[in-house]
Chains A and B, each alone.
Chain A
């Protein structure tokens, strides 16, 4: 028997959205199954990996522990909302450039967590980046390319003409 659906209106990736879904669904399920936005991934559905990160009113949260219904009237941003006008966000660009996305499964979450960091801290230290991303697991990269990509994007967002260090791409001499 299909579940009776509840309907909410909220802002999804900058656009007004109205969605109907079973009321016990998490935002993660609603995004993937009812909004057709499969860019948001999942690795545990228990708050233990950070893979399902989205921005709620600009703050990174775990969509697997957030009820869809609790998002009524709020602003939700997913990875699909990062690129604007067909152009990659500087973070996306830097991740692609440095190979910070290997399998790419954790990538949407890291991008959004990093975006939230750069919104409040345009010049984060390496330590601040580690702290801000400490809630996201990646099994492929060892995180280093991710830090470097965040630093590169931060510099570019500040208007600097930044390029990656040679060691980053080719190793030490």
Chain B
């Protein structure tokens, strides 16, 4: 158990210790693990290395048709007329759909049901689907698209967020917070002006983080089948079968009981397959219309149009610090370029302001966030969902503050860490907190002290920290049911099957279930059968996003396995004539702890139990603890636990070209407890890879002046680092078990991406003394900054202004140390307070 020492926070009012409710943490046993923590193979590893894993596009059915989507060539236009007659007559075409066939809107968030499977009256980006064809071959379907005529009335397109602020008309959507602003957020936790006044140093900075996309190697694909008894089955490369299930039921007006969604193993997701998509609904409808199986596989270009990637984000940050670096107040503004639809955007916007407070204590905090609609593919959740942008801003900003204070940036951070088991200004409940240990690891490993500000010109080191959630505290649609459910079946032959709605996207979620059940029941994980991501067979798990799976399914699996164990132990104890408390499960046997030879095989224990009480099956579920945040918007940010990472990047900057290369990154990640160390290593390295790409070269680029087309929708021109760009990674795993996690485990899939871009940016400054306050840090920008510096100007490239935005009145929430209870001050009282 983690210690619950009383700790003082931030040097503020009184001491703050959060009582963690015991009931929501399952039995945690931190020693003697047989499976947990070991570097085992994944249970699906053999299938993956033999090519036996069946991805969605690998499915072939007799009489299967192929679907293609006709997409808009306009960024913003009204649809006046669609004529599909010619296409429908083409030999081999079996069905053609347009917007009027699927009139019901959908969307991942209840507050933004703004998408249509096929645009009925208006298109909002180049690539927005307008019509669909099913034909006997992909060739015929493609040829048919060319025979569809669509008459458009072009509207003025909105190419980017600043343009959206400046041009409320014509509106892209007729909902939102006015004009082309989708969402405006204004939250204030304490009076920041008082905090700035109390500071010894106040600094403001502007940053821009360019949009990037997930680029899973597998292009999205889906297959649908409509049976003669009017049941629909959809196989899809989705991270969220449950949400696809809901969207299908809604749009197709079918009872959910008639729909079965099976998520095939995803060939990479990274957040890009977390929305219900047009193509999934379209193949389902086409299967219903034709009575034949229908498959769609998107081209790489179409994957760029699905997008839902990183929001391009403009940020302004102002921080006040005392001489020793304690943060007295922070004010953060973000403007997100959302693209054509809502997607997860409202949550993304909140996330740009949520996690600033969980690394270093922030005494008073104010956040203003805005998301604009623009005529580009919609942005959404990409690895780190909404938090890499502010993290980059914050960590570079801190580097600048440290320099002004004359402090070592590592020391500065180490001095001001959020204490474990505390509440932040915005009411996030921090449990275990291993950032200090992470910092110490990378500082020592990288020889930071020897290198920082001491390397020869052109070489530099930079440091950054970060934190990420282990699952969101609230579900996406309002309900008070569990977030994850597990069923467990014990077979009289000794086999155990785990059923769970979670989705394997390469992160190893199927394996996690097997390891955990094996650990609890003393079995070989490779003998556990795992059935996942099938809405007919498996209890709901919300999906593979927000780093929630290990923690939530893990806890649910522990509960189910513990319940099975209790049943089996009771019957075995009777048979063995010992107290149930002495029954041990290990090595495939069930035996007396005091006399290990006195026992039986696990299979026999199941038989004994089954004979006594019938079929043995249990369930487990997990619901996150109640959040301390009660204010509006407080749903985004709370999490059962927070992971922490620290990284040091070493860079070489070529002063003649501005080209930055990164030979090595040291990264330490506070994992709580690894369930499978090798899988954790893989997630850390993969996150570093993705962070490196975002830091240096990845960019969703559009031609604003040419119809807002995506400039480079290809794997050649969207630059994903190759083996030759990838850096060496020295990884440290910090294990500080969190009572909320299964066996103490926290997330690792996303968090380690976050410190990489700012660490690289800070290292570039260390190497050549220029600031590129804009990601990606391209050679052009570095060279431009170097030239400016040579000319005696400020050696900086980055944004220079934050536009005026019609912010709403703030929601005022007094922080815990100002007597707050997590709720907002009523508006009238707030107004009164301001007068004084």
Contacts and interface: CB of A to CB of B under 8 A. Distances in A.
> Do A and B come into direct contact in the complex, CB within 8 Å?
yes
A147 to B, nearest CB: 8
Given A1-B92, A88-B49, A99 B679 contact: yes
B681 A83 contact: no
B724 interface: yes
B722 A137 contact: yes
B677 A104 contact: no
B715 A169 contact: no
B732 interface: yes
A32 B45 CA distance: 21
A129 B723 CA distance: 9
B48 A107 contact: yes
B679 A103 contact: no
A157 to B, nearest CB: 16
Contacts of B42: 96, 99
Most B-side CB within 10 Å, residue of A2, A104, A108: A104
A80 interface: yes
Given A99-B682, A137-B720, A43 B300 contact: yes
B685 A88 contact: no
Interface stretch (B145-153, B212-220, B635-643, B802-810): B212-220
A102 B300 CA distance: 21
A143 B723 contact: yes
Nearest to B676: A99
A107 B265 CA distance: 14
A36 B60 CA distance: 9
B533 interface: no
A51 interface: yes
A40 interface: yes
A36 B732 CA distance: 43
Contacts of B684: 171
Interface residues of B, number: 70
Nearest to B39: A169
Contact of A44 (B445, B505, B715): B715
Given A43-B300, A171-B731, A101 B49 contact: yes
Interface string A89-102: 00011011111011
A134 B716 CA distance: 13
Contacts of A33: 60
A105 B531 CA distance: 20
A118 interface: no
B144 interface: no
Contact of B41 (A97, A102, A133, A144): A97
Nearest to A137: B720
A133 B802 CA distance: 44
Interface stretch (B224-232, B603-611, B686-694): B686-694
Contacts of B685: 141-142, 144-145
Given A39-B50, A133-B723, A171-B732, A103 B217 contact: yes
Given A44-B300, A99-B45, A141 B677 contact: no
Contacts of B251: none
A57 interface: no
B113 interface: no
B289 interface: no
Interface string B259-284: 00000011111100000000000000
Contacts of A144: 685, 726, 728-729
Most A-side CB within 10 Å, residue of B139, B265, B300, B679: B300
A43 B715 contact: yes
B830 interface: no
A140 interface: yes
A13 B218 CA distance: 24
* B contact face: mostly helix, strand, loop, or mixed: loop
Given A39-B51, A44-B715, A169 B678 contact: yes
Contact of B217 (A41, A46, A96): A41
A75 B85 CA distance: 47
A51 B689 contact: no
A102 B715 contact: no
A2 B716 CA distance: 33
B729 to A, nearest CB: 6
B49 A48 contact: no
A41 B733 contact: no
Contacts of B267: 41, 103-105
Most A-side CB within 10 Å, residue of B49, B716, B729, B733: B49
A108 B51 contact: yes
B507 interface: yes
Given A88-B46, A88-B50, A97-B41, A170 B681 contact: yes
A46 B715 contact: yes
A31 to B, nearest CB: 10
A102 B677 contact: no
Given A46-B715, A80-B50, A172 B732 contact: yes
A20 B729 CA distance: 48
Interface string A33-54: 1001111111111101101000
Interface in A118-173: 129-131, 133-134, 136-145, 147, 167-173
Nearest to B52: A39
Nearest to A104: B48
Nearest to B445: A172
Nearest to A173: B732
Contacts of A136: 723
Contact of B50 (A2, A82, A134, A171): A82
A22 to B, nearest CB: 8
Nearest to B92: A1
B538 interface: no
A92 B217 contact: no
A101 B52 CA distance: 13
Interface string A13-30: 000000000000000000
B623 interface: no
B554 to A, nearest CB: 18
B225 to A, nearest CB: 18
A138 B216 CA distance: 9
Interface string B501-537: 0000111100000000000000000000000000000
Given A45-B299, A172-B730, 9 more contacts: A38-B51, A96-B48, A102-B506, A139-B215, A139-B268, A141-B686, A142-B688, A142-B726, A170-B733
Interface of A: 1-3, 32-33, 36-46, 48-49, 51, 78-80, 82-83, 88, 92-93, 95-99, 101-108, 111, 129-131, 133-134, 136-145, 147, 167-173
**Closest 10 pairs (CB-CB, A-B):** A39-B51, A103-B506, A104-B48, A105-B267, A142-B689, A169-B39, A96-B45, A79-B51, A38-B58, A102-B506
11 contacts: A44-B715, A46-B715, A88-B50, A103-B269, A105-B506, A133-B723, A139-B268, A139-B720, A145-B681, A147-B723, A172-B731
